Amino acid sequence: MARIMVAMSGGVDSSMAAALLVEEGHDVTGVHLKMADTPSGLPGKGCCTLDDARDARRVADLLGIPFYVWDFAATFQERVVDDFVTTYAAGRTPNPCVRCNERVKYTALMERALAAGFDQLATGHHVRLIRGEDGMVHLMRPADPGKDQTYVLYMATQKQLRHSAFPVGAIVKADLRAMAADRGLITATKPDSHDICFIPSGDTAGFLSARLGSRAGEVVDHDGTVLGEHEGAYRFTIGQRKGLGISGLDQPRFVTGISGSTVTVGRREDLAVELVQVEGVTWTQGRWPDAEAHLTAQVRYHGNPLPVRLDQTSQRGLEVTFTGDRPSGVAPGQALAVYEGDECLGGGTIAATSP
């Protein structure tokens, strides 16, 4: 029997993670992270509302386990929200879910759980772990491909994986909901979160505008022709088509580049990327992949894995060449995760791209 802390977001995945561990006979404690003062009454918005905290507590009470709310609001503000704003201001497109796992929900909570004497941290992430005979722990895609969350955990270390439990990774979501209903869990039919939890309105441009103000600039074509003006390059991201403030062109235009206050647009074919520079690279096994390995890379949360070749450029720098199909609309600031088959080997942050 292990002493396990379960991060309970108030959703069905973490609720069932706790339930399954209790049924296995472990000493389970539930913890809900208060990360933002998001109001109630926002169905499907995420893991930060008062409703979510109440739902998590009700599940813990039903399971008969201790339950605590830990205030991570200041950490979340500094490491995720402020980073989100700063990254957009620099002309990049961040992934706040990756940053949250990297800096708060997984990493920071893991540190606190181990410091408090727990053997493991369990979460409702849809990933699987395979523990090799050599002691190496492998981060694998889950049973339900549509819920795969290995992409947001690419930064996990061996120490963290050895102290992790992901009880729902071997169960498809439909079955998981049925199991939750059978156990009388209030979260059984609760909708999944799809939005940025600290922007419950979904108005990212408005959120950023309130913090960054007006930063006027130009929208230009690839030849430098000025097509329009804007109030802030942070309102745009690579691949964006709508809301460009331009019209009367022969073909639709997409954002292909952001530099300072200048937003460059081009045709759809201009979005294809062959080479990506990646920084801040980490590997789940603590080492670079074998040179002979057949690798793929994923540049979006639910993007398709595409064949790649890797070339190390520095201790934590990587050049990724797409050797088959090429991704489209890749933005600096996004995460890139590297895979060998169904195993996530690691990844980093996209620093630059080449068409």
Residue 83 lies in a domain: yes
Query: Do residues 11 and 73 share a domain?
Result: yes
Q: Give residue 201's pLDDT.
A: 83
Residue 241 lies in a domain: yes
Query: Do residues 255 and 300 share a domain?
Result: no
Question: Could you tell me the pLDDT band of residue 160, with boundaries at 50, 70 and 90?
Answer: very high
State the Cα–Cα distance between residues 256 and 214, nearest whole angstrom: 22
Residue 295 lies in a domain: yes
Query: Do residues 219 and 81 share a domain?
Result: no
Pick from 34-38, 117-121, 205-209, 237-241 the range whose average pLDDT is largest. 117-121
Q: Give residue 43's pLDDT.
A: 46
Query: Do residues 252 and 304 share a domain?
Result: no
Picking from 214, 353, 244, the residue whose alpha carbon sits closest to that of residue 297 is 353
How much is the average pLDDT of 323-344?
96
Query: Do residues 173 and 228 share a domain?
Result: no
Q: Give residue 40's pLDDT.
A: 52
Query: Do residues 171 and 28 share a domain?
Result: yes
Q: What is the pLDDT of residues 297-312, one digit of tens each?
A: 999 998 999 999 999 9
First-to-last C-alpha distance (Å) of the chain: 53
Range of the domain at 325: 275-354
State the Cα–Cα distance between residues 140 and 333, nearest whole angstrom: 24
Cβ partners under 8 Å of residue 219, min gap 6: 226, 227, 228, 229, 230, 244, 245, 246, 263, 264, 265
Residue 141 lies in a domain: no
Residue 40 lies in a domain: yes
Query: Do residues 21 and 60 share a domain?
Result: yes
Query: Do residues 254 and 349 share a domain?
Result: no
The angle formed by the CA atoms of residues 278, 84 and 343, to the nearest 5 degrees, is 45
Q: Which of 39-48, 229-238, 270-279 has the lowest mean pLDDT?
A: 39-48
Q: Give residue 284's pLDDT.
A: 97
Residue 56 lies in a domain: yes
How far, CA to CA in Å, does 15 sit from each of 162, 176, 227, 232?
22, 10, 51, 41
Query: Do residues 342 and 232 share a domain?
Result: no
pLDDT of 279 above 90: yes
Q: Which of 35-49, 122-136, 138-152, 170-184 has the lowest mean pLDDT?
A: 35-49
pLDDT exceeding 70 applies to what percent of the chain? 96
- Tell whether pTM > 0.75: yes
Domain containing residue 346: CATH number:
2.40.30.10
How much is the average pLDDT of 286-298?
93
pLDDT, averaged across the chain: 93
How much is the average pLDDT of 270-293?
94
pLDDT exceeding 90 applies to what percent of the chain? 84
State the Cα–Cα distance between residues 308 and 336, nearest whole angstrom: 12
Q: What is the pLDDT of residues 131-149, one digit of tens each?
A: 999 999 999 999 999 999 9
Where in the sequence numbering do the catalytic residues fall?
100, 197
Query: Do residues 303 and 239 share a domain?
Result: no
pLDDT of 35 above 90: no
Q: How many domains does the chain have?
A: 3
Q: Give residue 313's pLDDT.
A: 94
Residue 102 lies in a domain: yes
pLDDT of 348 above 60: yes
Query: Quick check: 40 and 50 in contact, CB under 8 A?
Result: yes
Query: Do residues 224 and 289 share a domain?
Result: no
Query: Do residues 287 and 221 share a domain?
Result: no
Q: What is the pLDDT of residues 42-77, one digit of tens each?
A: 444 445 678 899 999 999 999 999 999 999 999 999
Q: Which of 188-197, 216-225, 231-240, 252-261 has the lowest mean pLDDT?
A: 188-197
Residue 220 lies in a domain: yes
Picking from 119, 120, 145, 140, the residue whose alpha carbon sits closest to that of residue 130 is 140
Helix orientation angle between 50-63 and 12-23, rounded to the nearest 10 degrees: 20
Give the SS3 label for residue 23. helix
